[in-house]
Structure 1
Amino acid sequence: MGGSFELYKDKAGQHRFRLKAGNGEIIAVGEAYNSKAAAEKGIASVKNNAADAPVKDLETGKQ
């Protein structure tokens, strides 16, 4: 099974998402959003932008 996004409310009542790998390991966590719709837009943004995003190594300055 592939990875999946989980939408949830944190203890402060803010909406968040996390991305889990197929084995259940959390591999990414989104910021806190004021609404569920905004968190869903955050998921859409990750889906749209992450596939071809370059990796920038901030320690070495290399891409």
Structure 2
Amino acid sequence: MSGKFVLKLAKDGQHMFNLKAGNGEIILTSELYRSKDSALNGIESVRKNAPDINRFEIRENSKGEPYFILKAANHQEIGRSEYYSGKAAAEKGIASVQKNAPDAALVDETA
């Protein structure tokens, strides 16, 4: 099974998306967007930037749990991961985004 982008409305009415791996696990979550078109542009930006390993940055939260962010060419964050148990797990998450994002189908749950 291949990955998919799931576009949906947040509780406040803004748009957001998740990238899910073939097993249904969320591997990347977007920021909130005011319009559907902006969210769709965000999805295209993930597709474009995910193949470039230099667009990813691994960080740690205050508890020392690693996570990663994906940045566009302008250094703006376009998505982030969940928290992982270790750096190796975060690196596997990045590899999954790189594998799934370019050809992931779009499921629009806003309609």
TM-score class, shorter-chain normalisation, is 0.7 to 0.9
Runs of 4 or more off by more than 2 Å in structure 1? none
Residues 38-57 of structure 1: CA deviation (Å, up to 9, x unaligned): 00000000000110001111
- Cα distance in structure 1, aligned partners of 2:62 and 2:108: 33
How many equivalent pairs are there? 59
In the alignment, is residue 33 of structure 1 matched against residue 79 of structure 2?
A: no
Partner of 2:72: 21
Residues 1-63 of structure 1 correspond to what in structure 2 (within 5 A)? Answer: 3=49, 4-60=55-111
Please give the secondary structure, in 1, of the residue aligned with 2:93.
helix
Q: Which has the higher contact order (CA 8 A, sep 6+)?
A: 2
- CA offset at residue 59 of structure 1? 1.4
Unaligned 5+ segments in structure 1 are none
More strand by share: 2
More helix by share: 2
- Cα distance in structure 2, aligned partners of 1:47 and 1:56: 19
- The normalised TM-score by structure 2 is 0.51
